[in-house]
A = this chain, B = another copy of it.
Amino acid sequence: MTAARRRRFWGWGWEGEGPAPEQQEAIAQLLAARFDVPVPEIAAPPRLEELRLPAPRVRPPAALAALVSDAPHDRAAHTYGKSFRDVVRALRREFSHAPDLVAFPRIEDDVRALLDWAATAGAAVIPYGGGSSVVGGVEADVGDRYRGAVSLDLSRLDRVLEVDRASRAARIQAGVLGPALEEQLRPHGLTLRHFPQSFEFSSLGGWIATRSGGHYATLYTHIDDFVESLRVITPTGTIETRRLPGSGAGPSPDRLFIGSEGILGVIVEAWMRLQDRPTYRAAAAVTFSEFARGADAARAVAQAGLYPANCRLLDPGEAATAGAGDGTAAVLLLAFESADHALDPWMARALALAAEHGGAVPPGAGQTKRTEAGAREGAAGAWRKTFLDAPYLRDALASMGMVSETFETAITWDRFAAFDEGVRAAAGEALRRVCGAGQVTCRFTHVYPDGPAPYYTVLAPGRRGAELEQWAEIKRAASEAILALGGTITHHHAVGRDHRPWYDRERPAGFAAALGAAKAALDPHGILNPGVLIDPCPS
């Protein structure tokens, strides 16, 4: 037995992981050069003993005492998600809205008992999976209407309960994190292949509750399509949908809970559709002199019915950051994968389309490689490590006083050019005004036949002590542009609290009324994740 690693309470990942002090110094030097500012000082991370957590306001009955913790590390670790705003507040030692208690149900009945008690006690309950929310989705800052707030951590519900090899599906507990899930599926030759950037520290239930976007750049973009059935504990009872490959019996019950962000019930189990572990893979990188030409190529590929696993377009800035270009060209990353067949005809056609739209295709690119089942992860390991390490880097940047944010959306192709121009202009103008400098870059994380999902990253030197206000102003400018130009306020990061003002305008009023009514029926005391998605109207 090795000593158990402990999660950092204030930011991303494991204690002791992330860039070492000397790496951080080097990054600070680079930033100073990049933005022509003095070398930033690096703020010390908070220590538990520095925090002043308010005394817990609620206590469960003795029968539930073993399920809850008021340990400072637990409470601090469940105070925030993992957004830029969360990390800055943590660096400021602001933990005044820590949950009163953290509950760790071991079985489904525990969830039921905890909800019953919370309703009686007048406490809010915040379902908590991996805690990777970047939109204020797991905060305990629930206002004075509640006598307390309990973070409901589902991490002990972490098992694959049943595997159906014939249908390629499994019944899985919602609290399992990405790596443990894949580990349990591996002996069956199966995989969920859902790899959001949060993979290491996000849970199946969290993915479903937030409509997480995963590995596949086309076709199966969201977790939504992999949900075969759900089991949900609501304050008024348990809901289990029937396990079916497809149905037309009324509006889909699953779809009401997919994306419900914990306001309707606690997802405790799901039957998920799985994949065979791929053994064929073909990948290629095509460069374009202009992002717009690359977008045309991505559209052509998305509309050709080829369904690549990867079809990610990086603008020149993103390509340079990812080590996939020199900063002068856009790069389209294409990949096909299969457990069944070689992919040369698929890739050949995609590359032909890319070339037709002005892409430079490297000679010999895109040949199918045969890999042992599972070995694909090794081959793509370098990129994957960069991708998975990015959140550690983001925290380091925050500790240097940088303002950073990623925002993502989707838009139809007819409007994309004007949309991209307008969003970049709005974000760039806000960066200049608020921070004096800064960069905006974009990539497509997913593409559809009818439009792309552009993902923007902003980075700017902040003013110590004003980073949150600066962040808010940049976020506001970008979000206003997205809404005005026809996009969605989130393609896969979810709504939480941070996107509420724009979600409230994007969402039709009639749907808000229907959703509020559904919530009142399932959660009559409004105890579940208040403030997320809608304002509760408790009876």
Residues of A within 8 A of B (CB): 164-169, 210-213, 219, 221-222, 228, 232, 234, 236-253, 255-261, 264-265, 273, 276, 299, 303-307, 338-341, 345-346, 349, 353, 410-414, 446, 448-453, 486-495, 499, 503, 506-511, 513-518, 520-522, 533
Contacts and interface: CB of A to CB of B under 8 A. Distances in A.
Contacts of A265: 510
B450 A242 contact: no
A522 B514 contact: yes
Given A250-B507, A305-B338, A451 B245 contact: yes
Contacts of A164: 412-414
A246 B273 contact: no
A308 to B, nearest CB: 11
Contacts of A490: 247-249
A448 B304 CA distance: 21
A259 B244 CA distance: 16
Contacts of A413: 164, 166-167
Given A228-B450, A253-B508, A256-B256, A494 B338 contact: no
Given A236-B510, A517-B520, A492 B451 contact: no
Contact of A522 (B353, B452, B513): B513
A279 to B, nearest CB: 12
A228 B488 CA distance: 13
A256 B249 contact: no
B259 A495 contact: no
Contacts of A488: 242, 244, 246-249
Which of A164, A304, A518 counts the most chain B CB atoms within 10 A? A518
Contact of A253 (B245, B486, B499, B507): B507
B253 A511 contact: yes
Contacts of A506: 242, 249
A258 B251 contact: yes
A520 B513 CA distance: 10
Nearest to A520: B517
A185 to B, nearest CB: 15
Contact of A345 (B345, B492, B516): B345
12 contacts: A164-B414, A167-B413, A238-B510, A242-B486, A244-B412, A246-B410, A249-B507, A251-B258, A252-B255, A273-B450, A305-B307, A510-B521
A255 B253 contact: no
Given A236-B510, A276-B303, A521-B514, A250 B167 contact: no
A67 to B, nearest CB: 24
Contacts of A276: 303
Contact of A259 (B165, B242, B251): B251
A528 to B, nearest CB: 13
Which of A236, A249, A273, A299 counts the most chain B CB atoms within 10 A? A249
Given A167-B412, A303-B276, A255 B251 contact: yes
A251 B303 CA distance: 26
Contact of A450 (B168, B486, B514): B168
7 closest residue pairs by CB, A with B: A245-B451, A211-B248, A245-B448, A514-B518, A255-B255, A517-B517, A239-B510
A210 B249 CA distance: 8
A339 to B, nearest CB: 8
A251 B452 CA distance: 20
Contacts of A495: 249-250
A27 B166 CA distance: 42
Given A241-B508, A246-B448, 9 more contacts: A222-B246, A232-B510, A236-B510, A243-B486, A244-B487, A245-B451, A246-B446, A251-B515, A252-B258
Nearest to A222: B248
Contacts of A260: 250-251
Nearest to A242: B506
Contacts of A491: 246-248
Given A249-B507, A449-B168, A307 B307 contact: yes
Contact of A414 (B167, B256, B449): B167
A451 B365 CA distance: 36
B257 A251 contact: yes
A255 to B, nearest CB: 4
Contact of A449 (B210, B273, B452, B503): B273
B451 A244 contact: yes
A304 B341 contact: yes
Contacts of A521: 510, 513-514, 516-517
A136 to B, nearest CB: 14
Contacts of A453: 245-246
A223 B217 CA distance: 22
A511 B248 contact: no
Nearest to A251: B259
Contacts of A492: 248
A337 to B, nearest CB: 9
A233 to B, nearest CB: 10
Contacts of A341: 304, 306, 345, 349
